[in-house]
């Protein structure tokens, strides 16, 4: 099996790629230069916004794991161009040069807004912000492509000393929304992104949109404490208790079992 992985220098890709290699998968990485991003990885030079450059990347692959995305920027046009146009270009190249390949798209739990329950895959989604809206559009492009597909929606990602959890207090402070300390959010460790991708590569998630998350959505107040910070407490009512909380029961039914069950386990085992 040869798997093309995009976004290999990003938060998720840089930690998923070595795990795929360690599991015995032949990996090809889409890169802008010609330098392999890791040992035992084939580099395929190309650009998602240059369709003519993608043939070499996709030809002969058994699967595509599409992680590349633009997220934390105020440039909405760039977000849409990278996340939708880039995905469409990769889908078209896969259809043309690897039509039997399985296409796995990493998406986001930010597609869910206010609701009366944790975000579920069959909930209507119509996010207003550019990043989740562009991912919803990319998901739909994949579902209607005619390829074998799976969409994996990720919550807050952490672990492997990536610094993401440690940056949470700063992200909350800089946000336009005032967060309640009791707000719980779903999380996933990098190890279990690999767990989910292994399932997807084996076909268990074919034709499915799937939330993945660990077993314990955790409050912002607790997460601040875990990284050695303090968040001001409050007994005010929590107006949107299910925001950032994903229902991962579909993933469980399809065979997903997280290895890192809680952020507390990760902390105890030195895996943050």
**Structure letter (DSSP) for residue 246:** B
Give me the residue label for tokens 């395929």.
Answer: 44
Please give the Cα distance from 189 to 266 (Å, whole number). 8
pLDDT band at 72 (very low <50, low <70, confident <90, very high): confident
The confidence band for 36, taking pLDDT boundaries of 50, 70 and 90, is confident
Q: Which pLDDT score is estimated for 38? A: 78
pLDDT of 3 strictly over 90? yes
| pTM, full prediction | 0.97
What is the spatial distance between Cα 176 and Cα 188, in angstroms, rounded to a whole number? 24
Q: At what angle do helices 86-97 and 130-143 cross, to 10 degrees?
A: 20
Is there a contact between 106 and 63 (Cβ–Cβ < 8 Å)?
no
Return the biggest CA–CA distance within the chain: 57
Q: Give counts: helices (H), strands (E), the chain.
A: 10, 11
206-220: average pLDDT:
98
| Per-residue model confidence (pLDDT) at position 176 | 63
pLDDT of 52: 97
More reliable by pLDDT, 39 or 247: 247
Start-to-end CA distance of the chain, whole Å, equals 31
> Can you tell me the mean pLDDT for 182-208?
98
Q: Sketch out the chain's domains with CATH numbers.
A: 2-157+188-213+247-258 (3.40.50.720)
Q: How do beta strands 26-31 and 2-6 pair?
A: parallel
């Amino acid at each position: 099996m040869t798997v093309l992985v995009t976004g290999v220098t990003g938060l998720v890709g840089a930690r998923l790629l070595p795990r795929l290699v360690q599991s015995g998968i032949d990996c090809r990485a889409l890169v802008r230069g010609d330098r392999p991003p890791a040992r035992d990885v084939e580099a395929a030079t190309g650009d998602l916004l240059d369709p003519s450059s993608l043939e070499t990347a996709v030809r002969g692959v058994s699967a595509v794991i599409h992680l590349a995305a633009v997220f934390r920027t105020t440039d909405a046009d760039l977000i849409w161009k990278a996340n939708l146009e880039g995905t469409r270009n990769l889908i078209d190249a896969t259809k043309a040069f690897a039509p039997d390949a399985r296409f796995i798209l990493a998406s986001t739990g930010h597609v869910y807004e206010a609701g009366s329950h944790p975000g579920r895959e069959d909930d209507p989604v119509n996010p207003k912000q550019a990043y989740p809206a562009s991912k919803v559009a990319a998901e739909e492009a994949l579902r209607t492509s005619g390829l074998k597909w799976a969409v994996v929606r990720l919550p807050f990602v952490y672990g492997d000393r990536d610094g993401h959890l440690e940056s949470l207090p700063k992200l909350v402070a800089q946000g336009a929304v005032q967060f309640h300390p009791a707000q719980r959010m779903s999380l996933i460790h990098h190890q279990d992104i690999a767990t989910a991708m292994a399932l997807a590569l084996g076909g268990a998630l074919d034709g499915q949109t799937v939330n993945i998350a660990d077993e314990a959505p955790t409050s912002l107040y607790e997460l601040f404490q875990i990284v050695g910070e303090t968040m001001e407490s409050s007994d005010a009512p929590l107006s949107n208790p299910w925001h950032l909380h994903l229902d991962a029961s579909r993933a469980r039914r399809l065979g997903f079992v997280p290895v890192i069950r809680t952020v507390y386990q990760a902390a105890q085992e030195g895996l943050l």
